[in-house]
Structure 1
Amino acid sequence: MATLGLSDGDKASVEAFRRDVVEPSHTQLVIVDFWAEWCGPCKQLAPVMEKVCADYASKGVKLVKINVDEDKFIAAQFRVQSIPTVYAVFQGQPVADLSQARTEGQFKQYLDQLLSQLPIESEEKAQAQEIAPLIAMGEEMLADGEHERALSVFEQIAQMAPDNAEVASGRARALVALERVDEAEAALDALPSEAAKDSHVEQARAAIALARNARPVADLSAVQARVAADPDDHEARFELATGLMGNGDRDGAADALLEIVRRDRDWNEGAARTQLLTLFGAVGLEDPWVAAQRRRLSQILFS
């Protein structure tokens, strides 16, 4: 904003705007709230916006409030016609009008969308980059059956990022692998509500559900004989699948469950398909093995 010909008060407003909004917006998402003392809706909106922006500070969000009676020049530059008016500013330019948001959920939805599209620098992103190699190491150890070492790695990362959903998931799945299921569930229950909804945490909860339903079985020969004697004994085949899952044979378990679906997809209110989906969730929906089994399931269902 040019300052030539402006009053001293307007020049001060422009300099404050550059300092508080334009410069931080080079790396952060700055939320500019135009308000006034006499504005009732502004006062109702303020605590909601302040809470959301405080919650999102680590994500690179900053709130700046501009009183339209005191900073008329800045309000005029933004063509503020009514208040409250709320803009999101990035790299010195308005990128979104958030004036229609009135609830915490609406503000968060807008911010989540903007943060996913813009190269915002934040503590959260910096931390994510720092711990990503450590998470990959822990996941590799889990995949290789080094459960104690994986747990140690995830617990060390958790000291750096205690509320990180991916870390919490890895730690919980390591605990499940070590048959410390109750401890894993308690750890997930202690997470903040937003982290608890994350897909990584859902994967860990699926692993817990699987562990509670599928226990290792030393000798499956008897149930295998029942299936061989009567291929339509779905209860026996389901028991076999459960035992195979408990023993870590996910291929065998998937084969047995898919065979039940192929023979009678509605058996026991779709129990085989439900168990398959739990298995998929525990392995991870992005895993190539899950993608292959999903294709097999689709072929059965839609053939």
Structure 2
Amino acid sequence: MGLNLDEQKAVDRFRKTVVEPSMTKLVILDFWAEWCGPCKALTPVLEKVAAEYADKGVILAKVNVDEEQFIAAQFQVRSIPTVYAMFQGQPVADLTPARSESQLKQYLDQILAQLPVQPGALGEEAPQDVAPLLAMGEEILAEGDGERAASVFAQIVEIAPDNAAAHAGLVRALLLAGRREEAAAVLDALDPKLAADHALDQARAALALAEDAPEEGELAELRAAVAAAPDDMDARLALANGLFAAGDRDGAADTLLAMVATDRAWNEGAARARLLQIFEAIGLEDPWVARTRRKLSTVLFG
């Protein structure tokens, strides 16, 4: 990651005190310093409101900008006090303008009405109750943000290491982010009993498709081969495989749909079969899959 030892320690501290709790709770993140008068005036307000909202899943975390300069720099803190609301490891609101109890409560009420924050004090929730987090990860995955989805699923794996769906989501997210070797490592490291869970079948199918990832420059060669011989179905299938493995879902689907339209029976329906395999790997409930299935139906049935 290019971090020195002190920076890595700072990241680890921040992860334990802020990121991990924010996976289920709403964290009020307060950047402050000993010499900051406004910070000292705001502290009692933050502490009082956080205590009153603790049963709603709100906790307070404080970052001394003099002691944690690296973390403050990552958040581009330019003045203090700076206060954020954190959920799922991401800033979801800037609370800095709220300087009174009523203002802060108004912000928190609005945020809590929109996010699946688990009520109760930190640690009260059952470790296996990660369904809302899994839903959040799947939603981000469906939006096509592999990096953010991988971060969410990685946190869920830490909370519930025996949850097969969390590992499956992490594998699929890593693949979407182009991190194929890491995705394979996640599957390889699973306990045999957990690895046998059918929840991981989709992740394995996605990894199998990603194994065709082309080397640098190879994708251009595949495109050139198709351009030189547009009727060469083998070349078109190879291009579709390469496009999908490289993360270009649309390009792969368009190529395969064109192949089905040209000759749906070619190679015992290989183009259609590959599309169906892609659908399975991504997930039949995925919006992209639903849209592409409709396109396939149009090609097949007019």
TM-score, normalised with respect to structure 1? 0.49
Decide which structure has the larger Cα Rg and report it: 1
TM-score, normalised with respect to structure 2? 0.49
Q: Which of the pair has the greater relative contact order for Cα pairs under 8 Å at 6+ separation?
A: 2
